[in-house]
Chains A and B, each alone.
Chain A
Amino acid sequence: MYDVLIVGGGAVGCAVARELSRYQLNMCLVERGEDVCVGTSKANSAIVHAGFDAAPGTLKARFNVEGSEMMEDLSRELDFDYRRNGALVLCFHEADMPRLRELHQRGKKNHVQGLEILWGDALRKKEPALSDKVYAALYAPTSAIVCPFGMTVALYENARKNGCQFQFDTAVETIERTGDHFTVHTSRGDMAARVVVSCAGVHGDTLHNQLCHKQYHTVPRRGEYCLLDKKDGKIVDRTIFQLPSAMGKGILVTPTVHGNLLLGPTAADQEDRDSVATTAAGLDTVTATAALSVPGLPMRDVITSFAGLRAHLAETDDFVIGESAENFFEALGIESPGLTSAPAIGQYLAKAVAEKLRAAEKADFDPTRRDIPHLREMDFEARAALVAENPAYGNVICRCEGISEGEIVEAIHRGARSLDGVKRRCRAGMGRCQGGFCSPKVMALLCRELGVPMEALTKSGGGSYLVQGMTKEAQA
């Protein structure tokens, strides 16, 4: 029996696991996917929001501001990519100024630091690529960008190092209260735990409704994005928002921490909880709306487009966080600003669970974790020394991103089992050719390091096989 079973290996689940691993608890995280960071956490805007958007007094406002304040230190402690680049919320018409001022006031109430409204020349000096139709903008210097994969994987690795177990390919089907504990029925058998922490993203309502009186319903809200080549990553330096609407923060234009340019998301509610298909209409909306903020975006430089689902709740616009039923803790309805809030939610829930279980802190908790070396960011001497020490770091596999065999092997040793797992950990296949050249080579490395045949490899777990078999032997 586990003391704690965490359901869901996204940013929030991994943050809970990492914070709870400070305590002397026997715990396990179960994830339906083949890896951490395979749901909402992998397909979002990758923004650490400053916190001016959420209504004062809400959980969203609280955890957003707390998470934003924690993020920089956390990125150093756990070594993931983060950059405080600032954000601008654009206002195109004088008539909309009351809404911009309201956002400004809301930010002040939420204790967001450094907010100011900028006009004309001051604005264009900061971001020369902005449309000349922009009337004014709210500047939020504390807004930042982060690598969502990097952050989630870092939390996962640190939790694992501190004793949390992880079980993948395990979908929770039902939860049942049996005596003083829970019996959790999963796709891979039953598990018992004294406390359950549900961080199940768009599936969170299913678990909640089995144990709680007040019922919630997730309405997955699809957001589509386009990612542009690194040569366009400097078109803007800050994250460029438009005035928010009832459906969310609107379509942004932002550099990513890795130097690409990201456009999106759209917002369309859907029934399906798994489908992350893009649509022609959605991608057209991204293109047209982003162009209002920054005209002349080079859309022929798009290297990929994708969609993610936000776990929006029909009954509330806020997060639901806490002990929703005896010994059942949850983070429900974690839509934007969920990525920003994740570290703060993790800290809050971990404290609550530890108090409930009267758990003592570990003496040997190690809060640090180092990332896989980023060779292309090293100076010549440091890189040469690393290559001299281990020649695999000299062998470039992914030519577009400049990722070496050494980095890929390290990603596999740290838990990547699929092409996407490798890609999210070290960026092999994430560049302008989108894995055209390197995927057969990464597949060969996965086979070598994991000791499995090619036929067993997947793009992203489950049925996503990559080859059907040897030529002339493959059967239909």
Chain B
Amino acid sequence: MKKVQLAIVGGGPAGLAAAIAAREAGLQDILIIERGEALGGILGQCIHAGFGLHTFGQELTGPEYAQRFIDRVEDMKIPYLLGTMVLDINENKVLTVTGRETGLIQIQAEAIVLAMGCRERPRGALNIPGTRPAGIYSAGTAQRLVNLEGYLPGKNVVILGSGDIGLIMARRMTLEGAKVHAVAEVMPYSGGLKRNIVQCLDDFNIPLLLSTTVVDIQGRGHIESVTLAQVDERRKPIPGTEKVIPCDTLLLSVGLLPENELSLSAGVALDGVTGGPVVGDDLATSVPGVFACGNVLHVHDLVDFVSEEAGRAGRSAAEYVLHRRSAGRTVALRGKNGVRYTVPQHIDADAMADTVTVRFRVGQPYRGAALCAWAGDRLIRRIPKRILTPGEMESFPIRKADIPADCDTITFTVEEAAQ
């Protein structure tokens, strides 16, 4: 059986950054396994600008951002396989891999970085009633068709869901000559970044209809129209508010789901809220030697944070192979009162870096609130926030020096503004 010290599953932004960091940390024997035909993952179809402000201080397109990492991987001569998919990872870290070039083979890894990314929630998950015609695409599928294959699904578009890909595609479809009639969002606020709402909808006069959803789809062969309706506070359609919008395309941008089938096959414990693995500050999962980063861990807004997180996973994986440090004192992290989850879910109070960035999302929008970290009833740190919204991931730095010696759990909360 082929052996490798570190197998990285996925050659997107997370896998690339993890590979580079692992090599920089001194690990030689690394293999990136990528199912697509090129490195870079989903960035290849993200031809809009806006990537890299945090990492490089400039606005790059997705392919440009990816290329900087691909160039490093090439320079460092880190081996990779393309068109090759990992079918299974067992509890002994044996990967079953298939590809045109490799055939069906098994690889024994000492350490594994999970960097498989996420997938889009399909129509079925929403149980939208109506017919099942052609012309309904998830936003990412349409993005691939338009940006990589060069085909336009249609000219009259309705978009359900205001996730970032939906917003980006509203602009893209408009630039390609289609008319985007509306972006409907079932929640009373958008799930996307504010800058995308401004740059992709407002600048093109595309209406964002909040508290609105698709309640029926018409058309037999091809989609002909959708019925939109307003919803009440419990997201139930309000009778009498229905409006039929003729269209030839319905794009869905209704959520992203970390793709953790392989994590499960490896025996990795998952977090019920994020859908990704439970990890420590070193990005180690519940299975020793298996690390996770990027959108397979939790869905990010910004690739810059993916690269940073993945770098940490790569360094930890290298350290695991080269040094095998022993675990220190575990402090659990948890979200409460508006903080939905945390990543990481626990930290090692002895081995942690001087500062660890804890990331999470809030459950609803807040104005003039503050984020707080508590050790029991002791406030460790309080960060005022002008605006908090579920569409923007929060970063909360926790200093090692601030963690009391007797603390076993740090709780993150939203402190709402006084009425």
Which residues B25-48 have CB closer than 8 A to chain A?
35
Chain B residues closer than 8 Å to A462, beta-carbon distance:
220-221
Q: Is A467 an interface residue (CB 8 A)?
A: yes
Q: Is A288 an interface residue (CB 8 A)?
A: no
B249 to chain A: closest residue by CB: A468
Stretch at the interface among A96-104, A138-146, A241-249, A299-307: A299-307
Whether A476 pairs with B155 at a CB distance below 8 angstroms is: yes
Count, A-B residue pairs, CB within 8 A: 156
Which residues A245-303 have CB closer than 8 A to chain B?
274-280, 282-283, 299-300, 302-303
Q: Is B59 an interface residue (CB 8 A)?
A: no
Give a binary string over A378-418; 1 marks a CB under 8 Å from any B CB, 0 the rest.
Answer: 00100110011001101110010010100000000000000
Chain B residues closer than 8 Å to A302, beta-carbon distance:
124-125, 127
Whether B125 pairs with A471 at a CB distance below 8 angstroms is: no
Whether A380 pairs with B120 at a CB distance below 8 angstroms is: no
Which residues A141-167 have CB closer than 8 A to chain B?
none
CA distance A467 to B215 in the complex (A): 24
Q: Is B399 an interface residue (CB 8 A)?
A: no
CA distance A440 to B137 in the complex (A): 11
CA distance A380 to B1 in the complex (A): 13
CA distance A73 to B150 in the complex (A): 49
Whether B100 pairs with A395 at a CB distance below 8 angstroms is: yes
A277 to chain B: closest residue by CB: B131
B105 to chain A: closest residue by CB: A384
Give a binary string over A437-476; 1 marks a CB under 8 Å from any B CB, 0 the rest.
Answer: 1011000100000000011001111111111111110111
Q: Is B240 an interface residue (CB 8 A)?
A: no
CA distance A380 to B97 in the complex (A): 11
Q: Is A373 an interface residue (CB 8 A)?
A: no
Partner of A276, one of B104, B131, B177, B216: B131
CA distance A119 to B101 in the complex (A): 57
Whether A474 pairs with B129 at a CB distance below 8 angstroms is: no
Known contacts A226-B127, A302-B125, A454-B149; is A394 also within 8 Å of B103 by CB? Answer: yes
CA distance A384 to B103 in the complex (A): 7
A394, A435, A475: which has the most chain B beta carbons within 10 Å? Answer: A394
Q: Is B307 an interface residue (CB 8 A)?
A: no
Q: Is B49 an interface residue (CB 8 A)?
A: no
CA distance A476 to B124 in the complex (A): 29
Give a binary string over B87-103; 1 marks a CB under 8 Å from any A CB, 0 the rest.
Answer: 10000000010111111
Q: How far is the CB of B90 from chain A (nearest CB, A)?
A: 12
Q: Is A433 an interface residue (CB 8 A)?
A: yes
Whether B104 pairs with A383 at a CB distance below 8 angstroms is: yes
Q: Is B192 an interface residue (CB 8 A)?
A: no
Whether A283 pairs with B131 at a CB distance below 8 angstroms is: no
CA distance A166 to B206 in the complex (A): 49
Whether A476 pairs with B156 at a CB distance below 8 angstroms is: yes
Whether A280 pairs with B98 at a CB distance below 8 angstroms is: no
Chain A residues closer than 8 Å to B216, beta-carbon distance:
277
Which residues B220-251 have CB closer than 8 A to chain A?
220-222, 237, 248
Q: How far is the CB of A234 from chain B (nearest CB, A)?
A: 14
CA distance A319 to B1 in the complex (A): 60
CA distance A306 to B127 in the complex (A): 9
Interface of A is mostly: mixed
Whether A467 pairs with B119 at a CB distance below 8 angstroms is: no
Whether A436 pairs with B155 at a CB distance below 8 angstroms is: no
Known contacts A380-B104, A437-B119, A467-B151; is A459 also within 8 Å of B124 by CB? Answer: no
Whether A470 pairs with B145 at a CB distance below 8 angstroms is: no
Q: How far is the CB of B123 from chain A (nearest CB, A)?
A: 7
A396 to chain B: closest residue by CB: B85
Whether A396 pairs with B150 at a CB distance below 8 angstroms is: no
Q: How far is the CB of B158 from chain A (nearest CB, A)?
A: 15
Partner of A470, one of B105, B106, B120, B152: B152
Chain A residues closer than 8 Å to B98, beta-carbon distance:
387, 394-396, 404
Q: Is A227 an interface residue (CB 8 A)?
A: yes
Whether A439 pairs with B127 at a CB distance below 8 angstroms is: no
A305 to chain B: closest residue by CB: B127
A395 to chain B: closest residue by CB: B100
A390 to chain B: closest residue by CB: B100
B248 to chain A: closest residue by CB: A468
Chain B residues closer than 8 Å to A437, beta-carbon distance:
119, 141
CA distance A419 to B144 in the complex (A): 17
Whether B120 pairs with A433 at a CB distance below 8 angstroms is: yes
Chain B residues closer than 8 Å to A306, beta-carbon distance:
132
B125 to chain A: closest residue by CB: A302
Give a binary string over A302-315; 1 marks a CB under 8 Å from any B CB, 0 the rest.
Answer: 11111000000000
CA distance A470 to B151 in the complex (A): 4
CA distance A260 to B325 in the complex (A): 43
Chain A residues closer than 8 Å to B151, beta-carbon distance:
454-455, 467-471
Whether B87 pairs with A396 at a CB distance below 8 angstroms is: yes
Known contacts A395-B99, A436-B141; is A474 also within 8 Å of B177 by CB? Answer: yes
Whether A303 pairs with B100 at a CB distance below 8 angstroms is: no
Partner of B222, one of A227, A283, A435, A465: A465
A467 to chain B: closest residue by CB: B151
Whether B122 pairs with A466 at a CB distance below 8 angstroms is: no
Whether B221 pairs with A399 at a CB distance below 8 angstroms is: no
Chain A residues closer than 8 Å to B127, beta-carbon distance:
226, 278, 283, 299, 302, 305
Q: How far is the CB of A292 from chain B (nearest CB, A)?
A: 19
Q: How far is the CB of B83 from chain A (nearest CB, A)?
A: 6
Whether B134 pairs with A380 at a CB distance below 8 angstroms is: no
Whether B134 pairs with A471 at a CB distance below 8 angstroms is: no
Q: How far is the CB of B375 from chain A (nearest CB, A)?
A: 34
CA distance A258 to B122 in the complex (A): 20
Whether B120 pairs with A467 at a CB distance below 8 angstroms is: no
Which residues B134-171 have CB closer than 8 A to chain A?
134-135, 138, 140-141, 144-146, 148-156
Whether A436 pairs with B103 at a CB distance below 8 angstroms is: no
Known contacts A283-B129, A395-B99, A476-B156; is A471 also within 8 Å of B124 by CB? Answer: no
Whether B176 pairs with A433 at a CB distance below 8 angstroms is: no
Chain B residues closer than 8 Å to A476, beta-carbon distance:
155-156
Partner of B129, one of A282, A399, A465, A469: A282
Q: Is A26 an interface residue (CB 8 A)?
A: no
CA distance A172 to B71 in the complex (A): 61
Q: Is A113 an interface residue (CB 8 A)?
A: no
Q: Is A347 an interface residue (CB 8 A)?
A: no
Q: Is B368 an interface residue (CB 8 A)?
A: no
Whether B220 pairs with A433 at a CB distance below 8 angstroms is: no
Whether B100 pairs with A391 at a CB distance below 8 angstroms is: yes
Give a binary string over B178-212; 1 marks a CB under 8 Å from any A CB, 0 the rest.
Answer: 00000000000000000000000000000000000
Q: Is B328 an interface residue (CB 8 A)?
A: no
Q: Is B404 an interface residue (CB 8 A)?
A: no
Whether A436 pairs with B119 at a CB distance below 8 angstroms is: yes
Partner of B122, one of A383, A433, A455: A433
Partner of A459, one of B100, B123, B129, B134: B134
CA distance A262 to B140 in the complex (A): 28
CA distance A325 to B121 in the complex (A): 52
Q: Is A105 an interface residue (CB 8 A)?
A: no
Sample of 23 A–B contacts (CB below 8 Å)? A226-B127, A275-B131, A302-B127, A303-B124, A303-B125, A304-B123, A384-B103, A387-B104, A394-B104, A399-B35, A434-B122, A434-B124, A436-B119, A436-B122, A444-B149, A458-B221, A461-B221, A464-B133, A464-B134, A469-B152, A470-B151, A471-B146, A474-B177
Excluding A280-B215, A384-B103, A436-B120, 14 further A-B contacts by CB distance (< 8 Å) are: A226-B127, A276-B131, A276-B132, A299-B127, A388-B103, A388-B104, A391-B101, A399-B85, A404-B98, A436-B138, A455-B151, A458-B221, A464-B221, A471-B177
